């Protein structure tokens, strides 16, 4: 059931996890974060600030803001450390 998998994936994200932007996001109001596709964002809060929204810090310039969960996916940097 895809809807269950989606929910499960969300709960795996924790504070200090990194996520990677799947799409460009332009903020609709000041608290939101602007980012480009492919940017890495570190989560600064484990819980949703509001439904479907995460809070994170951009690796590139340190800006902090909220953004839709649907725009990012978990970033697994450890995968490449073994080679």
What's the predicted TM-score (pTM) here? 0.76
How far is the C-alpha of 30 from the C-alpha of 67, rounded, in Å? 11
Residue 58 φ then ψ, to 5°: -70, 135
Residue 80 pLDDT more than 60? Answer: no
Average pLDDT of the segment spanning 2-15: 54
pLDDT at res. 30: 94
Is it the case that residue 81 has pLDDT exceeding 80? no
3-state class (DSSP) for residue 57: strand
Angstrom distance (rounded) from CA 83 to CA 73? 23
User: Is residue 15 scored above 90 in pLDDT?
Assistant: no
Is 72 or 1 the better-scoring residue by pLDDT? 72
């Amino acid at each position: 059931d895809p809807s269950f998998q989606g929910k499960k994936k969300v709960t795996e994200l924790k504070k200090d996890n990194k996520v990677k932007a799947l799409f460009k996001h332009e903020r609709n109001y000041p608290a939101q974060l602007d980012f480009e596709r492919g940017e890495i964002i570190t989560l600064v809060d484990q819980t949703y600030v509001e439904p479907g929204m995460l809070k994170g810090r951009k690796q590139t310039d340190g800006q902090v803001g909220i953004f839709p969960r649907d725009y990012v996916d978990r970033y697994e940097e450890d995968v490449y450390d073994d080679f």
